Structure 1
Amino acid sequence: MQIAVLEDDPDQRDVILAWLEGGGHVAQGFGDGAGFMAQVGRGCELLLIDWMLPDTDGGHIIHWAREQLGWELPIIVLTAREDEQTTVSALRSGADDYLVKPVRPAVLLARIEALARRYGATAGTTAGTTVAGTAAKRHGAYEIDLQAVRIALDGQAVELTQKEFDLAVYLFDSPGKLLSRDHLLNRIWGLNADVDTRTVDTHVSRLRKKLKLDGSKGWRVAPVYGYGYRFEQEAAAVRH
């Protein structure tokens, strides 16, 4: 599907775009309502809209979309707000679905598929990074399937908890980036999670062992003293 994503947080926007592209969709991101309304046209097949925006709000964007693009376009609201009033406002404005952040990639893709079936749209397209038209994405020896919530190493599925899976997906979507412990904690566990940064260290340590993220399989999690981690592809794997 052709999906337009309106999310003012650049980190969250990049992650969502990576999830969508990994799921076989073609996605374009926008950081503000003005740019979104100026560029999104009728060729778009689904909208993902953040409710709280720097220059407007999700309700205004939805009203605009319904007036300009019609009612045959699926719209999903993504927001950190989970109060009943916001949910009701989003649905009454014309949204088809409502997801509270942090959103799991498998859940987001499943909701998109459900709306695609309802509207009769194509749920996904085969992109160069996907495997046989599925939501599987290869990174050397690793294969990540967002829909099945599965990571395979050398063709063998690795048993992971949901948080380990979410963290691994985020790392593979953020190669070379310097990631602080606080950043990872907020992205994977959420701003209101009752855990501390030691949880991040524990999960990174488990992933390093389970997925062999020590460089032996082409990727490694490198600790950055006093800060966090950097997820790197080994030079030999890049040349290969």
Structure 2
Amino acid sequence: MRLLIADDNDAIRDILDNFARGSGYETVLAVDGQDVLDKWQAGGIDLILLDVMMPKLDGFAVCRKIRQQSDVPIIMITARGEDYDRIMGLEIGADDYVVKPFSAPEVMARVKAVLRRLQLIQREEPIDSGHKLGNMVLDVQRGVIEVAGKGVRLTHKEFDLLRLLAEYPGQLFSRDKLLDTVWGFDYTGDIRTVDTHIRRLRAKLEQAGLNGCSIGTVWGRGYRLEVQP
């Protein structure tokens, strides 16, 4: 597995590099946002550790550009106490985040967790637990989803959102309820976050060939998972 580690702070970058290589990963290092894009576009990157505050392009801009083309796992690195960084990172498609100052072993544990989940999604054998709706199966325990027998790559929040809807098929959830349940009562973002995630989730499921159920909109009221008889 090959990690792209991006941070303009030499000391932090070196610490992460040493721990990653000590954990058996290959590493590629980047010092600014444009450097990240150039090295990612060269190929062969399995996960990106992405600092928010970097020269040329910040981590948000880099994450947005990558998400337009790829679902490569991204773990954002944010400053202490900057809730805005954490919230924004998750909204634009980051898989996880770590807060400075951090423990390098904890970062590697998060890297392993994200990659392990991705490997489960990519395995060919069908999952046999969780919710089955139409041709979609959610394995809640392992945090993976299959549509038509094939794994579908979702971010953590996309999966949590789909899981909630799938656990209560037909039940209408308001945007506020989804925001409180999936993002938490202390979330300070906008309810448009829900609309953005629903839109991305629908697109991924439709592209995967979802049949027999769908995420329905009740205009002005919210969303629900609709199962066709």
TM-score between the two structures when normalised by the length of structure 1:
0.47
